[in-house]
Amino acid sequence: MWRYEKRLQHPVNITTPNPQLAQFIASQYGGPDGEIAASMRYLSQRYAMPYDIGKAVLTDVGTEELAHMEMIASIIHQLTKGLTAEQIAASGLGPYYIDHTNGIWPQAAGGIPFNACEFQSKGDPITDLFEDLAAEQKARSTYDNILRVVTDPEVCDPIRFLREREIVHFQRFGEALRAVQDHLDSRNFYALNPAFDNPAKTAAAAAGSCDCSVCGG
Ligand SMILES: [Fe+2]
């Protein structure tokens, strides 16, 4: 359950519209490494996580990504507000305008619609956490790319804030991965799924006496 606060996590106050920038930044709304994918990924993965620390990190970060989705939507909205159809068409955002006018719709910078295949929920905490670590770095790289082409300080400010949060999330997922690995036998860090495999089999694998096809005896 969530309680909605009527404010953004970090303020967005853009006074100069720029539809071309809106097209670039839209990728962090519905693109492959964007905030929708991040929030859906973590809030879905949390259920298979067998350890409380992992569940807490996935829920915290997934919730924060929803707030980031809201910030990105606000940036896109403010960058396109009040423009004429001619200004939008001249900026390269014309195809988006034809389908969505000035509405917010999840797609990548190249126009590819958001798709749940952008993320996984594998039901294996180690697999999922490695994906989460990579996702945070990919999101940071995208923000770096955006910052290379944005000069307006009113746009740079919230983008820099979001970029810093990706670095914090990477650190937190690293801590969660360490905690999950601490529950596993050191010789079988990646051979078993701690969320699914039989605990007795996991113990046997730890003792080196499991003869299943996964452990190999
Ligand atoms: Fe993140």
- What's residue 210's pLDDT? 56
Q: Map residue 107 onto helix, strand or coil.
A: strand
Residue-range domain boundaries for the chain: 19-183, 191-217
Whether residue 168 is predicted with pLDDT greater than 50 in this model: the reply is yes
- What's residue 217's pLDDT? 41
162 near 28, Cβ under 8 Å? yes
Cα–ligand 1 centroid distance for 80 (angstroms):
25
Q: Which of 6, 128, 155 is nearest to 72 (CA)?
A: 155
pLDDT digits (tens, 9 = 90+) for 139-166: 999 999 999 999 999 999 999 999 999 9
Which residue in the block uniquely carries the two structure tokens 């990728």?
A: 27
Cα–ligand 1 centroid distance for 91 (angstroms):
29
- What's residue 131's pLDDT? 98
Q: What's the whole-model pTM score?
A: 0.88
Q: pLDDT above 70 covers what percent of the chain?
A: 88
- Alpha-carbon distance 178 to 7, whole Å? 34
Cα–ligand 1 centroid distance for 58 (angstroms):
10
**Rama region for 51: left / alpha / beta (φ>0; ψ in -120 to 50; rest):** beta
- What's residue 128's pLDDT? 97
Average pLDDT over residues 32-41: 97
Cα–ligand 1 centroid distance for 201 (angstroms):
35
pLDDT digits (tens, 9 = 90+) for 58-69: 999 999 999 999
Average pLDDT over residues 12-27: 96
64 near 57, Cβ under 8 Å? no
Strand partners, 113: 107
Answer whether CATH 1.20.1260.10 is correct for domain 19-183. yes
- What's residue 215's pLDDT? 47
pLDDT digits (tens, 9 = 90+) for 83-141: 999 999 999 899 999 999 999 999 999 999 999 999 999 999 999 999 999 999 999 99
Whether residue 173 is predicted with pLDDT greater than 60 in this model: the reply is yes
Cα–ligand 1 centroid distance for 61 (angstroms):
7
Taking CA 134 as the corner, what is the angle to CA 77 and CA 174, rounded to the nearest 5 degrees? 110
Cα–ligand 1 centroid distance for 43 (angstroms):
12
- Residue 88: burial class (beta carbons within 10 Å; 0-12, 13-18, 19+): buried
Cα–ligand 1 centroid distance for 27 (angstroms):
14
